[in-house]
Amino acid sequence: MKIKNVLTHTITSLMIASGLSVVTAGSAQASAYMLSEGQNMYTTGITYSTATDWFNQNRNRVPQGCTSKDSSWGHSYTYGYSYYYNFFANASLANQSCGVGAKTAGLGDVQVGIRGRLDLERNGRTWEVALNIPTGYDNQKINRLGYGKFGLWAGVAWSTQNTGWEEKMPSYWEAGTGISYWFGPPASQSKTYVKWSWSLDDNGDNRIVLKGVLKLSLRDGKPEFPVAFAGFPRYSGDYDAGIISAKYSRRLSQQWTAAITIGETVWGRNISASRYGTLSVTYRWDD
Amino acid sequence: MLKNKFIHLAIGICTLVALPVAAMSATELAFEEGHFRYSQEALANAQKEINIVEINVSMNRRDASILFLKDPNDKSTFAASFSLDEQEFNGRIKSFGSSTRALKKKSVILKIKGAKWKGYQNIALKSMSSDGSLMREYMAWELMRDMGMMVPETFYVRLNINGTFIGYFLYIEWLGKNFLDTRGYDAASEMYQPDDAVYCGDFRHGSDIERCWNKYTQDGKDYSSLKALSKQIMAAPVESFDKFVADKFEDDSLVNWIATNTLTSDGDTYNKNYFMVKSGATKKWKVIPWDYDLTFGQSFDMFVPFPGSIFNERFQYYYTPDLGVFNPMKAKALLNENLKAKLYSRLKHLIGKEKNGSEKTFGWFSPTVMSARVEHLAKALEGGQVRQKYGKRSATSFIEQYDAVEHYGIARPFYIEANMFSTFEWNYRNTPQMKEYVAYTKGVDLTPEEIAKADTALLSEAHDVINPIGESKKGLDEHEFMAKLLEKPFTGRGVSGYSNKSLIVYDPGFGYVLARLDFKEQFRIADFQAEAEAFKPPMYVYNEGNPEQCIQRSWVLFSRIPSLNIKADVTLEYFDEHSQKNELGGVKDEHKVNLWVHSGDAWKPLLTEVNQKSNTLTVNDFRLQAGRIYRFIACSSAESALWSRPVSR
**Cβ-Cβ contacts under 8 Å, B73 against chain A:** 36, 163-165
Question: Is the confidence at residue A85, as pLDDT, over 80?
Answer: yes
Question: Is the confidence at residue B29, as pLDDT, over 50?
Answer: no
Question: Is the confidence at residue A166, as pLDDT, over 70?
Answer: no
Paired sense of beta strands B52-59 and A275-286, if any: unpaired
Look at residue B317 in the predicted model and tell me its pLDDT: 96
Look at residue A230 in the predicted model and tell me its pLDDT: 64
CATH number of the domain where residue A34 is located: 2.40.160.40
Q: How much is the CA Rg of chain B, to the nearest whole Å?
A: 26
Residue of higher predicted confidence among B458 and A60:
A60
* ipTM at complex level: 0.79
- Per the DSSP assignment, residues forming a β-bridge with B315 are B576
**Cβ-Cβ contacts under 8 Å, A164 against chain B:** 71-74, 101
Look at residue A161 in the predicted model and tell me its pLDDT: 85
Does the distance separating the beta carbons of B71 and A254 come in below 8 Å?
A: no
Which pLDDT band holds residue B281 (cuts at 50, 70, 90)? very high
Which has the minimum average pLDDT: B350-354, B387-391, B464-468, B495-499? B495-499
Which pLDDT band holds residue B10 (cuts at 50, 70, 90)? very low
The mean pLDDT of A45-74, rounded to a whole number, is: 92
Asked whether A158 and A167 are in contact (CB, 8 A), the reply is: no
Backbone angles phi, psi at A224, to 5 degrees: -120, 155
Question: Is the confidence at residue A140, as pLDDT, over 50?
Answer: yes
* Distance from the first to the final alpha carbon of chain A: 37
The span from the CA of B174 to the CA of B172, in Å, is 6
H or E stretch at A31: none
Question: Is the confidence at residue B459, as pLDDT, over 80?
Answer: no
How many contacts does A have with B, using Cβ atoms within 8 A? 54
Residue A286 Cα, gap to closest chain B Cα (Å): 10
Mean pLDDT of chain B: 88
| Cβ-based neighbour number of residue B21 at 10 Å | 12
Question: Is the confidence at residue B579, as pLDDT, over 70?
Answer: yes
Pick from B62, B74, B306: which is nearest to A123 by CB?
B74
Asked whether A102 and A141 are in contact (CB, 8 A), the reply is: yes
Question: Is the confidence at residue B19, as pLDDT, over 60?
Answer: no
The mean pLDDT of A253-282, rounded to a whole number, is: 95
Pick from B76, B101, B102: which is nearest to A83 by CB?
B76
The residue count for chain A? 287
Which pLDDT band holds residue A98 (cuts at 50, 70, 90)? confident
User: Which residues of A touch chain B, with CB atoms under 8 Å apart?
Assistant: 34, 36-39, 80, 82-83, 120-124, 162-165, 168, 254, 286
- The edge-to-edge listing of strands for the beta sheet with B594-598 is B490-499, B523-534, B553-559, B629-635, B594-598, B603-605
Range of the domain at A261: 2-286
Does the distance separating the beta carbons of B72 and A83 come in below 8 Å?
A: no
Pick from B74, B101, B197: which is nearest to A83 by CB?
B74
Q: Which amino acid appears at position B284 of this protein?
A: K
Q: What is the pLDDT of residues B530-563, one digit of tens each?
A: 889 999 999 999 998 999 999 999 999 998 787 7
Q: What is the pLDDT of residues B287-318, one digit of tens each?
A: 999 999 999 999 999 899 888 888 899 999 99
Question: Is the confidence at residue B73, as pLDDT, over 60?
Answer: yes
Residue B62 Cα, gap to closest chain A Cα (Å): 9
Paired sense of beta strands B644-646 and B608-611, if any: parallel
Q: Which chain A residue has the Cα nearest residue B64?
A: A121
Look at residue B471 in the predicted model and tell me its pLDDT: 61
Look at residue B585 in the predicted model and tell me its pLDDT: 94
Q: What is the pLDDT of residues B362-421, one digit of tens each?
A: 999 999 999 999 999 999 999 999 999 999 999 999 999 999 999 999 999 999 998 888
Residue B544 Cα, gap to closest chain A Cα (Å): 44
Residue of higher predicted confidence among B30 and B644:
B644
Question: Is the confidence at residue A25, as pLDDT, over 60?
Answer: no
Count how many Cα atoms sit within 13 Å of the Cα of residue B216 in the half-sphere of its side chain. Answer: 16
Which has the minimum average pLDDT: A19-33, B381-395, B426-440, B521-535? A19-33
Does the distance separating the beta carbons of B66 and A164 come in below 8 Å?
A: no
Does the distance separating the beta carbons of B306 and A36 come in below 8 Å?
A: no
Count how many Cα atoms sit within 13 Å of the Cα of residue B238 in the half-sphere of its side chain. Answer: 17
Residue B564 Cα, gap to closest chain A Cα (Å): 59
Look at residue B80 in the predicted model and tell me its pLDDT: 97
Q: What is the pLDDT of residues B196-232, one digit of tens each?
A: 888 899 999 888 999 999 999 877 789 999 999 999 9
CA atoms B442, B445, B447, B453: torsion sign: negative
Q: How many domains does chain A have?
A: 1
Asked whether A194 and A172 are in contact (CB, 8 A), the reply is: no
The mean pLDDT of B511-526, rounded to a whole number, is: 85
% of chain B residues with pLDDT over 90: 67
